[in-house]
Amino acid sequence: MHNFCDYTGKSEERSLRQSLSLITQGVTPLNIESTQEWPKIGEEAIFVFVDASCSAEAVARLPKKRLLMHKGKLYKSKH
């Protein structure tokens, strides 16, 4: 994701945030109008915790530590 944004010149917060849709089956926390799209009550939540202040920062920088939550269990990254 980081390489894609770098290659295509995406550097603004909105374009970085929307780039997440390429790896999340079209789901992003905020839509193009900055309205919350995810998570919604009742939806399955599989997500990755990273040390970032927003989703755009998580895309723009390569986080060193990651935790995956799947079905209520945490899994550590092996990187």
**Is residue 67 within 8 Å of residue 77, measured between CB atoms?**
yes
Give pLDDT, residue 32. 79
Kindly report, residue by residue over 14-68, the tens digit of the pLDDT.
Answer: 787 777 777 777 888 788 788 888 788 888 777 888 888 887 787 788 777 888 8
- How far apart are the C-alpha atoms of 39 and 27, rounded to whole Å? 9
Across residues 2-21, what is the average pLDDT? 75
When computed from its CA atoms, the radius of gyration of the chain, rounded to whole angstroms, is 13
Across residues 71-75, what is the average pLDDT? 84
> What residue ranges do the domains of the chain occupy?
2-76
